[in-house]
């Protein structure tokens, strides 16, 4: 295998003979890693405030209207300035992608996979710098940023390998006297609309999955985290991606985004975000437009109301640690975050007491200082989170800790909040809050806990803590979520090991990072040829 700066790099040849391995996490307790991170923060700090162009078919485009990305730890600090595209910019972006599709779709899969591997290697070499951008733009602490970047590398490696595997697929039967083949071919032009909470991993994973299959895309990042996407687009260019294969456009979701979804030449839409926006995209994509020749495909990841079930026989300290990590990691701003803990009444009071003690030890502050918890993404999010807490208390919940904005800091900080005695059906037990708020529900036993867990419109992640093999098997059969974990936290899905995607209103169960994900960006062509 080739090496760059002393780090092993994947090649197409080595991918065929080596097993995929997840990128290792960085140990920031090691002085050299902490030093490298601080140096990266200093370097990136000098680059804040730059203006980024939209790029359509290789052409730089600027608009009169602008968007600003700000640091949620320090709202006065501008991370980047961006162009605000509107509906009028959609035709040019789609046409550029369509033009590039003619050649990119016929580029050998080996070259497309090799491109993905080059992207992975470039990210490895810039890992600390990439983490620093995440710290400034989204308020991730060092470990959360490192996990995001590691997952980005994993997606590039995994999807490159999966594209090579898919290219070798054959039909299960060969008829006598025929040569029967099965080819997975690209769909066309896709809209990639990623979220702000995993602005590197999900954005890059959605983009690379489409591109490695031979599609071309229009990438419209979230207005809360466009800088990471802009830097990623520049990295794609540096790695040799032809013009028009990815077109980078920032703009309003209500204007540019909706028109992009509706455009008759948009073949598929890959989206991660809220249930409300996902359903709107699904509805817009389902209406056939004049000149449209296909049924548009939607790949939707839309959120959750995830929970951890704590059985009476569980290891209490282990369960407390898992709930705290799942609830308050990245300030609860994960679609997989634990926002409900459903606890057997026999251990309920003891569990809540230990939970309170553990949560109150968490540090909160600007993430360049690497606290346990940073800010929420913006002022609107903070107001919404505090309103949910007030509603929970008004409906009878007991405030155990937190419940307020953190004083003395100028960013969008909310204290880790625990509400006990929440009843099934309460607002904070049913609606996705997307913040550091945990509702603790009392149940009669494990079986009632699972029934309560299932009683929402979502079905993304869940976890159970129990020593009983019988109850583990019950959860395997009856806990209706796309990602179920046993005796561990409900966040932190790993590419390859935990294909990620949920049921019901959590989305289309797309299973990112799994063996069938690339099928969503391809269509199968069966060819039978008579011999002789």
Q: Are 265 and 259 in contact (CB under 8 A)?
A: no
- DSSP secondary-structure letter at 10? -
CA angle 109, 115, 121 (to 5 degrees): 140
- Rounding to the nearest 10 degrees, give the CA dihedral for residues 21, 132, 58, 215: 30
Q: From the CB of residue 336, how many other CB atoms can be counted at a distance below 10 Å?
A: 26
Residue 194 to residue 207: CA distance in whole angstroms: 9
Read off the tokens for 186.
Answer: 């690209």
Contacts within 8 Å (CB) and 24+ apart, 406-411: 406/364, 409/73, 409/364, 409/365, 409/366, 409/375, 410/74, 410/75, 410/76, 411/71, 411/72, 411/73, 411/74, 411/75, 411/139, 411/366, 411/374, 411/375
Q: Rounded to 5 degrees, what are φ and ψ at 227? A: -65, -40
Q: At what angle do helices 142-167 and 109-125 cross, to 10 degrees?
A: 160
The per-residue DSSP string of 278-346 comes to HHHHHHHHHSPPTT--SPPEEEEE----EEEEE-TTS-HHHHHHHHHHHHHGGGG-STT-EEEEEEETT
Q: Are 183 and 525 in contact (CB under 8 A)?
A: yes
Does the CA dihedral 489-495-496-501 come out positive or negative? positive
The per-residue DSSP string of 236-273 comes to HHHTTPPTTSEEE--B-IIIIIHHHHH-TTEEEEEEES
Does the CA dihedral 96-101-107-113 come out positive or negative? positive
- DSSP secondary-structure letter at 24? P
Catalytically annotated residues: 301, 335
Residue 425: strand, helix, or coil:
coil
Residue 518: partners with Cβ closer than 8 Å, 6 or more residues away: 159, 162, 163, 166, 184, 209, 212, 213
Does the CA dihedral 365-50-203-156 come out positive or negative? negative
Q: From the CB of residue 93, how many other CB atoms can be counted at a distance below 10 Å?
A: 31
Residue in this structure with the two tokens 């030093």, named with its chain if needed:
35
DSSP β-ladder status, 306-310 and 338-344: parallel
């Amino acid at each position: 295998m080739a090496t760059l700066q002393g780090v092993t790099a994947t090649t197409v040849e080595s991918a065929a003979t080596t097993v995929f391995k997840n990128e290792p996490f960085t140990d920031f307790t090691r002085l050299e890693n902490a030093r490298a991170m601080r140096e990266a923060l200093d370097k990136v700090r000098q680059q804040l405030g730059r203006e980024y162009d939209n790029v359509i078919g290789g052409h730089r485009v600027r608009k009169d209207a602008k968007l600003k990305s700000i640091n949620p730890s320090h709202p006065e600090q501008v991370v980047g300035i961006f162009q605000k595209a509107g509906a009028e910019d959609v035709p040019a972006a789609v046409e550029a992608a369509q033009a590039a599709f003619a050649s990119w779709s016929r580029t050998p899969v080996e070259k497309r996979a090799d491109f993905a591997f080059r992207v992975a290697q470039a990210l490895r070499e810039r890992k600390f710098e990439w983490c620093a951008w995440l710290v400034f733009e989204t308020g991730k602490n060092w470990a959360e940023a490192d996990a995001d970047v590691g997952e980005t590398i994993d997606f590039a490696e995994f999807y490159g390998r999966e594209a090579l595997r898919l290219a070798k697929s054959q039909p299960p039967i060969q008829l006598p006297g025929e040569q029967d083949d099965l080819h997975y071919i690209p769909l066309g032009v896709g809209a990639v609309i990623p979220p702000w909470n995993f602005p590197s991993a999900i954005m890059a994973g959605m983009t690379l999955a489409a591109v490695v299959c031979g599609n071309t895309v229009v990438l419209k990042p979230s207005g809360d985290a466009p800088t990471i996407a802009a830097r990623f687009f520049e990295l794609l260019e540096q790695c040799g991606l032809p013009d028009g294969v990815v077109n980078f456009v920032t703009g309003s979701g209500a204007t540019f985004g909706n028109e992009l979804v509706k455009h008759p030449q948009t073949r598929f839409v890959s989206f991660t975000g809220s249930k409300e926006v996902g359903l709107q995209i699904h509805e817009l994509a389902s209406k056939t437009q004049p000149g449209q020749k296909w049924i548009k495909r939607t790949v939707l990841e839309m959120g959750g109301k995830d929970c951890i079930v704590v059985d009476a026989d569980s290891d209490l300290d282990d369960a407390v640690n898992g709930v705290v990590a799942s609830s308050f990691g990245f300030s609860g701003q994960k679609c997989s975050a634990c926002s409900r803990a459903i606890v057997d009444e026999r251990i309920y009071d003891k569990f809540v007491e230990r939970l309170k003690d553990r949560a109150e030890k968490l540090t909160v502050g600007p993430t360049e200082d690497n606290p346990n918890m940073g800010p929420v993404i913006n002022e609107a999010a903070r107001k919404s989170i505090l309103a949910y807490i007030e509603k929970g208390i008004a409906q009878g919940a007991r405030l155990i800790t937190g419940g307020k904005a953190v004083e003395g800091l100028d960013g969008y900080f909310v204290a880790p909040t625990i509400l006990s005695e929440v009843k099934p059906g309460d607002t904070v037990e049913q609606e996705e809050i997307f913040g550091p708020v945990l509702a603790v529900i009392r149940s009669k036993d494990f079986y009632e806990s699972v029934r309560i867990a299932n009683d929402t419109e979502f079905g993304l992640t869940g976890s159970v803590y129990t020593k009983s093999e019988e109850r583990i098997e019950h959860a395997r059969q009856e806990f209706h979520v796309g990602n179920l974990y046993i005796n561990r936290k409900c966040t932190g899905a790993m590419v390859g090991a935990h294909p990620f995607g949920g049921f019901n209103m959590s989305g289309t169960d797309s299973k990112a990072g799994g063996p069938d994900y690339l099928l969503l960006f391809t269509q199968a062509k069966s060819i039978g040829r008579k011999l002789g």
